[in-house]
Structure 1
């Protein structure tokens, strides 16, 4: 078996683990997107001749986890050392978020702007970009009855990154998202309806400013954008059904609706994602079946 066939077989195994079992679609993605993108990132790294930070923006169901795992594997085949980091790993601690909820009771879920330790994220990413050893934080979502907490650094010492990292894959649901003009909230899309909804959206918009120093470190941006943002709701329902089928606790359909709409109210895709313009970026349009429908490269 030649090397290309071995790589394709391993790609299939990764996809099977992630419940992506359409071999024809996987083969198409490999040839038309994953491999060309990997080569493009490798060339970007070689041109920079320093560690490259790739931001990957995408909500649940857009294939963010799949893409990150595939890129990491393919970069390894090109002898490029990569590290995967999630914005989720920089959530504030459980105790910090309890205090945060007292300050702003609207922060009932982790995820919106202000629930992350941006200074920690800056420290870690700058260390990786400067080839300094660093312990990468990890967040355990199962702790405190699902509220989640940072894993103590003393338990992560063995995870200290000492090897030089060539490419950092930094993924998250609003990685790279920037504040928009305030007048965009004068006639906002559903479900931003009430004055309270508008104020929450405006506050989240203002809080994005704290993340800008983080986004400025990004060399190349990948945006996974559903053709229709409403897909997020059935995708979340699918995920919950799978959890229940495995005997895990899941949300009801009404709870899922409220959960998804909460994040639409915080950073609405039509306001923040569809209008996002980034130089040196790749926008991948995702269809209802979680597959790539189209993509557009911006090298300006």
Structure 2
């Protein structure tokens, strides 16, 4: 709660936006819930919004896959989010109006109907904005030349997909990230653990009855390959500039906080 209190005490706009970055499976949602619970216990009105909830619709990503690059049909990387929707949502929250927070249905791989979006009443004080690449800077262009995995080598041999992703991150996404008042990073010990963390998530989904949506290990490997380049870049580049760094071990336990 220290970062929340610090942001609230700065005397700026409301709600203050606490950005939470972390790789897939790092515990962002769990931490966001804990922070919201702490806010509630102190009488603060809080809400959470995930970058995942700002994904472009399935039809919009299909269009991108046809006109820009086939890999853009897979949600997740910069260029597959509706950043204008995110900025509009923040504007409405700052105006003090009741706001419907966007939601994305991952089972349907499409945006949830607007009538299913939760309504946040006026006077919101704290917004937890979380996402796997939240607050990330684009890579220097020279670092895009060499593929980081088989997906890039075989399906993006000319680098067109990764250049599009990097350009998107350097443009509209920075306007969204500029609205963050405090940035927190849940830092995985390395990209290698992300596969295991994501596999755990799929097993939990299976146990909860979501069997039709569960990916096997091969599909998980392909899916997270879309995230590998930026995840590695974030873990290398972001730690020195965040407001709060929480380093995790392979079991997601905090081992250092600074």
* Matched-pair contact (CA < 8 Å) for 1:56–1:171: yes
* Matched-pair contact (CA < 8 Å) for 1:42–1:75: no
Q: TM-score, normalised by structure 2?
A: 0.88
- Paired with 1:270 and 1:224, the residues of 2 have a C-alpha distance of 13
Q: TM-score, normalised by structure 1?
A: 0.76
Unpaired runs of at least 5, structure 1 = 1-37
Structure having the higher Rg? 1
- Paired with 2:29 and 2:161, the residues of 1 have a C-alpha distance of 29
- Paired with 2:239 and 2:95, the residues of 1 have a C-alpha distance of 27
- Which residue, 123, 145, 153 being the options, matches 1:164? 123
Question: Paired residue for 1:242?
Answer: 204
Alignment of 1:294 with 2:253, yes or no, is: no
Which has the larger displacement, 79-88 or 269-278? Answer: 269-278
Question: Paired residue for 2:193?
Answer: 231
Q: What is the count of residue pairs matched by the alignment? A: 251
Alignment of 1:284 with 2:251, yes or no, is: no
Q: RMSD value over aligned CA atoms?
A: 2.2
Question: Paired residue for 2:73?
Answer: 108
Question: Paired residue for 1:15?
Answer: none
- Paired with 1:218 and 1:141, the residues of 2 have a C-alpha distance of 25
- Which residue, 27, 42, 46 being the options, matches 2:5? 42
Superimposed CA distance per residue, residues 26-63 of structure 1 (whole angstroms, 9 cap, x where no aligned partner): xxxxxxxxxxxx13412321222532111111122211
Question: Paired residue for 2:133?
Answer: 174
How far did 1:228 drift? 1.4
- Quickly say closer, same or farther: Cα 1:60–1:132, change in 2 above 3 A: same
- Quickly say closer, same or farther: Cα 1:93–1:169, change in 2 above 3 A: same
The structure, 1 or 2, with the larger RCO (C-alpha pairs under 8 Å, 6+ apart) is 2
- Paired with 1:197 and 1:276, the residues of 2 have a C-alpha distance of 27
- Paired with 1:163 and 1:218, the residues of 2 have a C-alpha distance of 20
Question: Paired residue for 1:60?
Answer: 24
How far did 1:132 drift? 2.7
Superimposed CA distance per residue, residues 104-153 of structure 1 (whole angstroms, 9 cap, x where no aligned partner): 2111311111111111110001221232332211111222xxxx222222
- Quickly say closer, same or farther: Cα 1:91–1:278, change in 2 above 3 A: farther
